[in-house]
């Protein structure tokens, strides 16, 4: 492991939708990383010099740089369509229940949202999310929601009531090599500390003899 690209470590645990999302995207990007499987509950004492004190997985370590949660997506090479996050949110909301969403969001922001302006995003969003060859960040975000629903109500109900989302999830996870993390090279917390030392990290004294 002589280069930074070979010293990317993902700290994660199964069952977390956000952990799943990060490793799906790393696989999609064909990032060469190592997986450090942690317990979903604290304490993670040996992870403290590794995660910078951030206790909400997933975290990613590039040499001595700690990246937390979705910042992973922006500090690695990008393969995503660049679109307006406002348009993404409004366009997706209209696919659900536009009257309920408009009422709820208008109350939240304390002014009446413009229904016609929101509706104009619908065609744009359809093309961006469903009709492109390349996957975008919104594809993976949408899959996380479907994944979470499936874990709550079961695959059969998702297939029968949300077939389009279920089929979308299947397509995205296929290109993301969703099972690749299971065969990814795994390291222990002690081995991850050795990686920090190789990169000259100022590891706290109590961890230096591990």
CA distances from 93 to 17, 26, 69, 112, 197 (A): 20, 27, 24, 15, 47
Question: Class for domain 8-78+183-200, per CATH?
Answer: alpha beta
pTM confidence score: 0.54
> How would DSSP label each residue in 3-31?
SGGG-EEEEE-TT-HHHHHHHHHHHHTT-
Mean pLDDT, the chain, rounded, equals 67
Domain range annotation of the chain: 8-78+183-200, 85-176
Query: What pLDDT does 210 receive?
Result: 40
pLDDT at 52 over 70: no
> How would DSSP label each residue in 97-113?
-HHHHHHHHHHHHTS--
For the segment 178-203, what is each residue's pLDDT rounded down to a tens digit? Answer: 777 666 667 776 776 776 666 655 54
Q: pLDDT band for 71, please (50, 70, 90 cuts).
A: very low
Query: What pLDDT does 26 receive?
Result: 82
């Amino acid at each position: 492991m002589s280069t930074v690209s070979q010293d990317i470590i993902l700290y994660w645990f199964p069952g977390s939708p956000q952990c799943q999302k990060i490793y799906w995207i790393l696989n999609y990007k064909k990032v060469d990383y190592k997986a450090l499987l942690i317990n979903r509950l604290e304490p993670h004492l040996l992870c403290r010099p590794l995660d910078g004190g951030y206790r909400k997985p997933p975290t990613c370590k590039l040499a001595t740089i700690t990246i937390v949660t979705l910042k992973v997506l922006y500090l690695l090479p990008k393969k995503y369509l660049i679109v307006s996050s406002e348009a993404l949110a409004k366009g997706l909301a209209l696919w659900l229940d536009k009257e309920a969403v408009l009422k709820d969001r208008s109350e939240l922001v304390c002014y009446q949202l413009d229904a016609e302006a929101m509706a104009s995003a619908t065609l744009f969003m359809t093309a961006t999310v469903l009709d492109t060859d390349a996957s975008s960040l919104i594809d993976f975000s949408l899959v996380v929601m479907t994944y979470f629903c499936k874990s709550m109500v079961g695959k059969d109900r998702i297939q029968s009531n949300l077939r389009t989302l279920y089929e979308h999830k299947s397509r995205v996870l296929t290109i993301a090599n969703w099972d690749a993390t299971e065969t990814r090279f795994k390291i222990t917390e002690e081995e991850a500390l050795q990686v920090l030392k190789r990169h000259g990290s100022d590891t706290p004294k109590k961890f230096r003899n591990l």
